[in-house]
Structure formats: C-alpha cells, structure tokens
Amino acid sequence: MTESVFFVQALGFLGLASMVISFQMKTATRVLIMDILANVFFGIQYLFLGSVSGMIVLTISMVRNILLLLRDRWPKLAWKGWVVVLIAAEIALCAPNIINWYDILPIIGFIIVTVSFWGKDPQKLRFANLILVCPIFLLFNLLVGSWGGVINEIITWVSVFTAFLRYRKQGKKEISDSV
C-alpha cells in the first residue's frame, strides 16, 4: 500500500472512530459534536477519492450540525424551515456533480439524517441510521471504492444496533438535552 493510499484510508478510520463513539453518547449534543468530527475526516477522504458529491454532503452536514447545536441559544436557528433550506442547498450543490446514479445515494442519506437530527430523540436518530442511512452509505462506499467507508458503515451499524438495543432494553429514558 502506498503512503497516499494509507493516508486516505487512515482518514476513514479516524472518521470511523468518531462515528462509533458518537452512537454511544447519551445526549444529542454529544452525538452531533462527534458527527461533525467524523464528517471532517470522511469529507477529506471523499475529496481524495474523487467523490465531490460525498464531500459536499458531509460539508453541509457539518453546517446542519452546527445549526442544531446552536438552535437553543439563537431562536432563529430553531426555525423548522432550515430543514428545507439545507436539503435544497444539498440538492443544488450536488446536482452539478452527479456523474453516476450512485452519486444520489449520499444526498438521500443526508435528507434522512437531516430530518431525524432535527428532532430531539436520540433513539429515533439511531433507528433511522440503523434501517436506512447505514445501508445507503454502505452501498455508496462500496461503489466509490472507499474501503474505510465500507468498514465504517458496518461497524457503525453494529454500534448503532448495540446502542439501540441497550437503551431500549434498559427501558431508561435517555437524556434529551437542548439539541
């Protein structure tokens, strides 16, 4: 493996570590912060792999997460219309970069996550990732050749599944903080 390939895959593994940690967090704030960190690593990785649409999706995801983190401090950021604005921006910025049919997969994943993140229920967010988002990004990563992304989605799916079962089995109400 050449140094450049190793570097690109290392970015994916740093993103992987951030994502696995995020789904073990009990509060939506901590999930979002770790998700931002993972998006930085994976966004750079996608850029190096030539997936512009994947990088755009993750960049707008970071903006979305920052809005979510700050929405209780600044009421204008709590506006539900931001969901539509973010999704429209995603489509507008990604559309010129759609080269293959599978370039729409991260856009679909972003839409699902954006809608589920805007709620304040970590369990619903985990469920959306478990059933829809992880499989969508797994397929995308397979098709663009991101082996770090493939491993990330498999491990993230297992992590989300574990957390989903753990919190559900405990019957405890999770902390739903200000995000």
Closest CA to 129 of 60, 66, 53, 61: 61
Biggest CA-to-CA distance, the chain: 50
**Would you say residue 107 lies in a domain?**
yes
Q: What is the pLDDT of residue 68?
A: 82
Q: What is the pLDDT of residue 126?
A: 78
Q: What is the pLDDT of residue 90?
A: 94
pLDDT band with cut points at 50, 70 and 90 for residue 175: very low
**Would you say residue 177 lies in a domain?**
no
Measured distance CA(46)–CA(75) in Å, rounded? 34
CA-CA distances (angstroms) from residue 32 to 38, 63, 87? 10, 11, 18
For residue 131, give its domain range: 3-170
**Would you say residue 120 lies in a domain?**
yes
**Would you say residue 27 lies in a domain?**
yes
Residue 138 has pLDDT above 60, yes or no: yes
Tell me the pLDDT of the chain averaged across its residues. Answer: 85
| Whether the Cβ atoms of residue 112 and residue 105 lie closer than 8 Å to each other | no
Residue 167 has pLDDT above 90, yes or no: no
User: Comparing 170 with 55, which gets the higher pLDDT?
Assistant: 55
Q: What is the pLDDT of residue 173?
A: 54
| Whether the Cβ atoms of residue 58 and residue 35 lie closer than 8 Å to each other | no
Give per-residue pLDDT as tens, 16-32.
Answer: 889 878 878 888 788 88
Q: Which two tokens stand for residue 66?
A: 């920052």
Measured distance CA(173)–CA(152) in Å, rounded? 28
Q: What is the pLDDT of residue 59?
A: 96
| Whether the Cβ atoms of residue 45 and residue 11 lie closer than 8 Å to each other | yes
Q: What is the pLDDT of residue 172?
A: 54
**Would you say residue 178 lies in a domain?**
no
Give per-residue pLDDT as tens, 28-60.
Answer: 788 888 989 999 999 999 999 888 999 999 999
**Would you say residue 28 lies in a domain?**
yes
Q: Which two tokens stand for residue 176?
A: 């739903």
Measured distance CA(79)–CA(75) in Å, rounded? 7
**Would you say residue 43 lies in a domain?**
yes
**Would you say residue 179 lies in a domain?**
no
Measured distance CA(58)–CA(40) in Å, rounded? 7
Percent over 90 (pLDDT), the chain: 39
Which of 50-54, 79-83, 145-149 is the least confident region? Answer: 145-149
> How many folded domains does the chain comprise?
1
